[in-house]
Amino acid sequence: MRKFNFCAGPAALPEPVLRQAQEELLDWQGVGCSVMEVSHRSPEFTTVAEEAEQDLRDLLRIPDNYRVLFLQGGATGQFSAIPWNLLGGERKSADYIHTGQWAEKAIKEARRYGTVNIVASSEDRNFSYAPAADAWQESPDAAYFHYTPNETIGGVEFPYIPEVRSPLVADMSSTILSQPIPVDKFGFIYAGAQKNIGPSGIAVGIVRDDLLDQALPNIPRSLSWKVAADGQSMDNTPPTFAWYLSGLVFKWLKAQGGVEAMAALSLQKSRLLYDFLDRSDFYSSPVAVDSRSRMNVPFVLADDSLDKRFLKESEEAGLLALKGHRSVGGMRASLYNAVPLEAVEALVAFMADFERRNG
Ligand code: PMP
């Protein structure tokens, strides 16, 4: 029996995708072995790779002057790779917005290679909101501008896309494919797969092609977007199973109506939960109303001595992984694309019942 899974990542995958993978596991496409056991350069796998790219291009309407990269090292690999790939030109500094733990990790990494200018920070209110653009201190000559559109731990989502002078770089790990995005406003978009794309072990990068020649000269080969782009993301052996499963998720997304359908569904799911939280004195959301994430919904119980019981009983009710991140405590429900509306309905019903019994 599959339960409702609210894990922040690795997260729920669509059940039809898992079933297809299961059916094809031993004998994939009549090849006589699994997709994991064939060469990444075989014609069969090449088709998987090409279709995954094309489906992602279709879903996000990626313009032709952008390269789609399937990368390793997760999103962490990418926020480490960004300064290597973009600080080799004339401009040696970068702008960053500090909105929480993922932004902070990216900032720390960039500081090792260049000057980092913190354009705005939400630290003053414990990272509970997305800073408004009117208070920014953008630098005149940054190589790029980095932000985290959705902070997975804090549950803070930008309600707008920053308009900036330098190429805009976005960590979309926990928001990609949950709504349409104007890709042409960005220089580089990246995302670890294990939330809205597929299993962990692969990351997606979408880079504007004029940014492929800005790398530091001594960039490690494995971090270079140019090497990845020139080698069709196969400069070394890629994580073929994760790539294949991501491709199945893209096809599933298309069949669901694409990112437009996901945008409508994610609003419906998150509103259901936020409306319930706002009506209750027993639970509350720590995030500013205009910055509340559609993907990750942190909430707290007014009496935190009930946290343990809440987690135990929710688990028993078939609602998995509601514990907040270890650094912040409380609860968090992640509502990625593969989490159905029924899961959120079941969660709200459980929460109402728990409140009745303990309030
Ligand atoms: N950025 C964000 C916004 C994330 O949510 C995560 C993972 N939770 C990461 C970066 C790090 O991803 P990875 O573990 O793939 O390196």
pLDDT digits (tens, 9 = 90+) for 266-285: 999 999 999 999 999 999 99
Cis amide bond preceding 10, omega within 30: yes
Q: Where are the domains of the chain?
A: 15-256, 258-358
Check whether 148 is labelled as a binding-site residue: no
* ipTM above threshold 0.90: yes
User: How many Å lie between the centroid of ligand 1 and the Cα of residue 82?
Assistant: 14
CB of 152 shorter than 6 A to ligand 1: yes
Beta strand segments in 199-246, E:
203-208
Give the pLDDT confidence of 65-81 residue by residue, as tens digits: 999 999 999 999 999 99
Looking from the CA of residue 77, the nearest atom of ligand 1 is 16
The domain 15-256 is classified under which CATH number: 3.40.50.720, 3.30.1540.10, 3.30.470.20, 3.40.640.10?
3.40.640.10
Q: How far is CA 338 from CA 118, 155, 222, 295, 304, in A?
A: 35, 18, 31, 11, 30
pLDDT band at 262 (very low <50, low <70, confident <90, very high): very high
Residue 184 CA, ligand 1 centroid: distance in Å = 23
Question: Does ligand 1 come within 6 angstroms of the Cβ of 206?
Answer: no
| Distance from chain centroid for Cα 232 | 22
Task: Indicate the pTM of the whole model.
Answer: 0.98
Q: Ligand 1 within 6 A of 157 CB?
A: no
Closest by alpha carbon to 243, among 59, 57, 64, 56?
56
Q: Regarding beta strands 142-147 and 93-98, do their DSSP bridges make them parallel or antiparallel, or are they unpaired?
A: parallel
pLDDT, tens digit, 9 for 90 and up, residues 185-234: 999 999 999 999 999 999 999 999 999 999 999 999 999 999 999 999 99
User: Smallest Cα–Cα separation from 199: which of 133, 249, 149, 140?
Assistant: 249
Cα of 129 from ligand 1 centre, angstroms: 19
Residue 195 annotated among the catalytic residues of the structure: yes
Distance from the alpha carbon of residue 333 to the mean position of ligand 1, in angstroms: 16
What is the rounded average pLDDT of the residues 285-304? 97
Q: What is the mean pLDDT of residues 133-160?
A: 95
Residue 148, ligand 1, Cβ within 6 A: yes
Give per-residue burial for 175-206: e unless 16+ CB within 10 Å, then b: bbbbeebebeebbbbbbbbbbbbbbbbbbbbb
Measured at the CA of 87, the angle between CA 83 and CA 92, to 5 degrees, comes to 120
Going by DSSP bridges, is the β-strand pair 203-208/188-192 parallel, antiparallel, or unpaired?
A: antiparallel
Report which protein residue has its CA nearest ligand 1's atom 10.
75
Is 151 in a helix, a strand, or coil?
strand
Sorted by sequence, the CB contacts under 8 Å of residue 28 that are 6+ apart come out as 34, 35, 38, 44
Specify the CATH number for 258-358; select among 1.10.1740.110, 3.90.1150.10, 1.20.1050.10, 3.40.50.2000: 3.90.1150.10
